[in-house]
């Protein structure tokens, strides 16, 4: 596990798709602080709450000069539906390519539920500084209060 990017390491710069058919990668935000929150799946209870919590605080993040990016393996079409259904203003990206950003970070991994083993996203958030280095990592995030905690850390950075 120690070979995975940690605080102090550069954020891997891997391109992802956006819901509008464009692309985005961490270096696009160089010179700004960036919060990248990875979540398992659009329109599931925890993920919906997390995305809505970040959206609710987006103006606070904006005031603090912090960009937000929510990432899952869902398709651009699913992201579009998710954004429309919940009035999300937080930008989303699709990390669906093999060897994508979540693979590089080690958070697309084998999970077990109800006796079944499958590949899944570990809910993880990264705070990246203006130089593109990982400043803080939240592993296996519990959604309640998380967006507020990330905002406080981003403001302190």
- pLDDT tens string 29-64: 999 999 999 999 999 999 999 999 999 999 999 999
pLDDT at 3: 74
Domain count, the chain: 1
For the chain, percent of residues with pLDDT exceeding 70:
99
The answer to whether position 102 is within a domain reads yes
The answer to whether position 142 is within a domain reads yes
CATH of the domain at 146: 3.40.30.10
Q: Which residue from 14, 37, 28, 51 is spatially nearest to 154, judged by alpha carbons?
A: 37
Q: If pLDDT is split at 50, 70 and 90, which confidence band does 20 have?
A: very high
Of 47, 69, 127, 154, the active-site residue reads 47
Which distant-in-sequence residues (6+ apart) come within 8 Å of 10 by Cβ? Answer: 132, 133, 134
- pLDDT tens string 116-157: 999 999 999 999 999 999 999 999 999 999 999 999 999 999
pLDDT at 1: 44
The answer to whether position 2 is within a domain reads no
The answer to whether position 9 is within a domain reads no
pLDDT at 120: 94
The answer to whether position 131 is within a domain reads yes
The answer to whether position 8 is within a domain reads no
Q: Which residue from 119, 135, 42, 56 is spatially nearest to 89, judged by alpha carbons?
A: 56
- pLDDT tens string 85-114: 999 999 999 999 889 999 999 999 999 989
Indicate if 47 belongs to the active site. Answer: yes
């Amino acid at each position: 596990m120690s070979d995975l990017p940690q605080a102090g390491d550069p954020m891997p710069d891997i391109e992802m798709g956006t819901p509008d058919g464009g692309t985005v990668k961490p270096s696009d935000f160089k010179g700004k602080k960036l919060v990248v929150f990875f979540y398992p799946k659009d329109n599931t209870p925890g993920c919906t709450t997390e995305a809505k919590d970040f959206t609710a605080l987006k103006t606070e993040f904006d005031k603090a000069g912090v960009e937000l990016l929510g990432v899952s393996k869902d398709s651009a079409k699913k992201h579009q539906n998710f954004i429309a259904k919940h009035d999300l203003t937080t930008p989303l990206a699709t990390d669906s390519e093999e060897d994508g950003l979540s693979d590089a970070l080690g958070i697309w991994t084998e999970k077990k539920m109800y006796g079944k083993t499958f590949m899944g996203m570990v809910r993880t958030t990264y705070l990246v500084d203006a130089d593109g280095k990982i400043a803080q990592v939240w592993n296996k995030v519990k959604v309640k209060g998380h967006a507020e905690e990330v905002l406080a850390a981003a403001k302190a950075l």
